[in-house]
Amino acid sequence: MAVRIVPYSSEDRAELERLITELQGYIAEIDPEKQTRPKEEFNAKRYVALLLEKVKEGRGYVLLAADGEKRIGCIAGIVRAQPSEQDFIEGYPVKIGDILELVVEEKHRGKKVGELLVAELEQIFQKAGCQIIHVSCFAPNIPAHRFYLQQGYFDRNIDLWKNVFDQ
């Protein structure tokens, strides 16, 4: 398998939708609260349209991992807007790159495809002047969390939820 990383083009739209749908299905399966739509109810076309809009507005990037002509993974990220006044008060402002999505086809996981995608986006963020790269990881997605830790990322914030509907 000779994987190469290529920039997204409009011809890749259906493949991007397929990959995002695969991720959605996986996340829905592992969601203990069942708050994530299963892939059968997921509007991939609309989601990808919004993702591409966000990427365009946020000086962002979408990259795909290609094995021959087949797209087997993707990553999307943006460079955050300038820090707000509140950011300047709370801490030292830095330029941040955000990883929005990372998907690798299930049968290609563990074969360094994710590492290649992350490394390529990290280089782009560095060239854009980012000092920090941020990624959120769904807590039940333990393999993804472990993957990011192996890439040198570290835990910084913890989000907590409480379901009050059934009380």
- Does residue 83 register a pLDDT over 90? no
**Residues of the domain holding 100:** 3-150
140 part of a folded domain: yes
Query: Is there a domain that residue 164 lies in?
Result: no
Instruction: Please check whether residue 165 lies inside any domain of the structure.
Output: no
pLDDT digits (tens, 9 = 90+) for 86-117: 877 888 888 999 999 999 999 999 999 999 99
Q: Residue 86: what pLDDT? A: 81
Q: Given pLDDT bands bounded at 50, 70 and 90, which one contains residue 166? A: low
Q: Is residue 132 part of a domain?
A: yes
CA distance to 1, 43, 118, per residue, from 62 (Å): 22, 19, 11
Q: In what order do the strands lie in the sheet with 3-7?
A: 3-7, 61-67, 70-79, 96-104, 132-135
- Res. 38: pLDDT tops 70: yes
pLDDT in tens, 39-68: 999 999 999 999 999 999 988 999 999 999
- Nearest-angstrom CA–CA distance, 46 and 51: 9
Does the residue 61 lie in any domain? yes
Number of domains in the chain: 1
Distance CA 83, CA 112 (A): 34
- State phi, psi for 53 to the nearest 5 degrees: -65, -45
What are the phi and psi torsion angles at 138 (to 5°)?
Answer: -60, 120
With respect to residue 15, please indicate whether it lies within any of the assigned structural domains.
yes
Specify if 51 maps to a domain. yes
**Per the structure block, which two tokens stand in for 127?**
């060239």
Tell me the CATH number at 127.
3.40.630.30
